[in-house]
Amino acid sequence: MQNDLRKQQALEYHANGKPGKIEVIPTKEAKTQRDLSLAYSPGVAWPCLEIAANKDDVYKYTAKGNLVAVISNGTAVLGLGDIGPEAGKPVMEGKGVLFKIFADIDVFDIEINEKDPVKFVEIVKSLEPTFGGINLEDIKSPECFYIEKRLKAEMNIPVMHDDQHGTAIISAAALMNACEIHKKKLDKVRIIVSGAGAAAISCIKLYIALGAKKENFRVFDSKGLIHESRTDLDELKREFASGGKNNSLAEEMKNADVFIGLSKGGVLNADMIKSMAKNPIVFAMANPDPEITYEEATGARKDIIMATGRSDYPNQVNNVLGFPYIFRGALDVRAKKITEEMKLAAVRALADLAKTTVPDIVNMAYDEKNISFGPNYIIPKPVDPRLLATVAPAVAKAAMEAGDALSPIINWDEYVNNLNKRLGLDNQVMRIIGNKARRNPKRIVFAEADNVKILKAAQIVFDEGIGYPILLGDERRINRIAIENGIEIEGLPVIDPRSDDQEDKRNEYAEIFLLKRGRRGFNSYESKRLCVTETILAA
C-alpha cells in the first residue's frame, strides 16, 4: 500500500547501501584454495560431465530447482502503465523479495526490452536451462495471454503470469467462502464484473471452473457493458459478451448477488449497493482506491460481505497468499507446468484454511482476541505461518495426481516439516509485531530529534503507522535538518525543553523528579536544571 509513503523515504530505501533490494550470496564455503578449486576449476568439471551425461542432474548439482525468473517487459507496471523495462525493475526486485521471505525461493529478475510477443516468447524460452520456473509479471493485455499460452505449451518448467492468476486464485477462495456464509450457490449467483483486463478475465474463467455459470456474468470495461452489439471487442472480450439489453452498470447491479471490481476507484455508489440482492458480496479490488470505499459499502448494507485489495480493512485479496506457495509446491515436485488443477488446489486449500482455528500469533498481529471464519474473515491473513505448509503441499499433490510431477514426494510428513523450517521465523515475527503495533499505536518520545538519523526514524515510525512521534529539541534546528534531508515532519509535535512556553511543564516535572530522587543527593535547583535536558524531560 502506498498510503502516505514519502517519496524521499522510498527513494532512500532503494538507494542507500547497495542499490536495489536483492543480492547473490554463495551457499558453499569459498575461503580456501581447496574451496575455490572445488567451486570452479578444476573441480567444477565433474558436475558438468555428470549433467552432460544426464541432463536432469542439473537439479542435483545446481540451484536451478529453487530458482525462479521474474520476467517483465515493463508494459503494464502496477498502475503506472507502459513505463519500460528499466522503470519496472524495482517492482521485479520486490517480487523477488516476496518469493524469498514467504517461500524461500531464489529469484533473478529479468527485464526484457522487447514488446513483440513472438520475440518475447523466444527470448524467455531460451532461458529454460537456467530456471526451475518462470513468473511473468506486468505484461500488458492482450499480449500477456498469448505469451503465457505459448510458453506453457513450449516449456517444460512451470510458467505463470501472476497478474492474471494471482488475483483469480485468492478472490476465488474468498468467493467460495463468502457464498458459503451467505448460503448462496456459486452456479446460481449473478456476478457483475467491472474491468476486463488480464486479472478480470482470469477471475471469470477460474470462477467458471469452480462452478459459476458463464451466462450469469455481466462484464464491463471502460466503455460500458461488453455486449454483442459492440464492434470494438477483441477475441478475449467477445467470449464474455452479453446479449439482450445493453444496460448500464447501475441497471445491471439491481438484484445482483456478487460484484467483482478490478477497474478503478469510484465506479460504485451506495445506491448501487442498496439495489443488490439480499446478502450481497462485493469485492472492490482496485488499488489503491477501491471501486467503493469500505465505509460507504458497509454503511449502505449491513448484510454485505466486503473485500478489498487493502491491508487496512478486513478480507484483503493479496496475491502474496498465492504465488510464493504455488511455485514452492510446483518446484518441489519438479512440475512441468502449473495446471488448472494446481490452481484449483490452491483455491481450495486457502478456502479451507480460513475455516480452521486461527493461531494466537495471527490474532496478536491484528490486535484481535479471536479471529474466526465469518463475514470479516473469509480468507487467511498474509502473516499466517500455516500458509506455506498448507498451500504448497496441496499444489504438489495436484501436480502428482495429474502426472505432471517429475520428482514425486514420498514422505509428506517430512516434506511439511522441511517447509516449516524454511519459514524464516525472524522475518515472520517482525511482520507480526509490526502489524500489532499498527493496530494500537502509542506515543513515542524522540529525545534527540535534532539528529538526522533520529529524525528519519521518527518519520518511518509515523509513516508505517506504528506510533505517534513526539520530537524534543530546538525547533528551528529540527526544521532545518528536516528540510535539508527531505524528511517530512509536518504534523508532528516538536517540543523545545528550553523554550519559555515549557516553563510550567519543566517546573511540574522538576517537582516529580525531586520527589523520586531527592533522597539521593538532588535538590530543587538541580532538579530544575536537569529538566532542561532532552533525555530527562523525555523520560
Name the residues annotated as catalytic: 40, 95
DSSP bridge partners of 335: 405
State whether the Cα torsion 499-500-504-507 is positive or negative. Answer: positive
Specify the length of the chain in residues: 539
Residue type, 313: Y
End-to-end CA distance of the chain: 34
Q: Smallest Cα–Cα separation from 147: which of 116, 108, 107, 126? A: 116
CA proximity to 388, closest of 346, 426, 423 = 423
Cβ-based neighbours of 149, under 8 Å, separated by 6 or more: none
User: How many Å apart are CA 537 and CA 162, to the nearest integer?
Assistant: 52
Among 224, 220, 222, 214, residue whose Cα is nearest residue 190: 214
Q: Burial, 440: exposed, middle or buried (Cβ in 10 Å; 0-12, 13-18, 19+)?
A: exposed
Q: Which three cell numbers stand for residue 48?
A: 558438468
Say how many C-beta atoms besides its own lie within 10 A of residue 126's C-beta.
9
Residues near 520 by beta carbon (within 8 Å), at least 6 away in sequence: none
Say which residue the cell 539521593 belongs to: 520
Contacts for 391-394: CB closer than 8 Å, 24+ residues apart: 391/321, 391/322, 391/325, 391/326, 391/328, 391/329, 391/346, 391/349, 391/350, 391/353, 392/103, 392/325, 392/326, 392/328, 392/329, 392/332, 392/419, 393/329, 393/419, 394/329, 394/345, 394/346, 394/348, 394/349
Q: In degrees to the nearest 10, what's the CA dihedral of 364, 370, 375, 379?
A: 50
Q: What is the CA radius of gyration of the chain?
A: 28
Query: Is residue 536 helix, strand or coil?
Result: helix
Half-sphere exposure of 253 (CA within 13 A, CB side): 21
Burial per residue of 5-31, b for 16 or more beta-carbon CB atoms within 10 angstroms, e otherwise: eeeebeeeeeeeeeeebbeeeeeeeee
Helix, strand, or coil here: 336? coil
- Continuous H helices in 54-103: 58-61, 85-103
> In this structure, which amino acid lies at residue 500?
D
CB atoms within 10 A of CB 74: 25
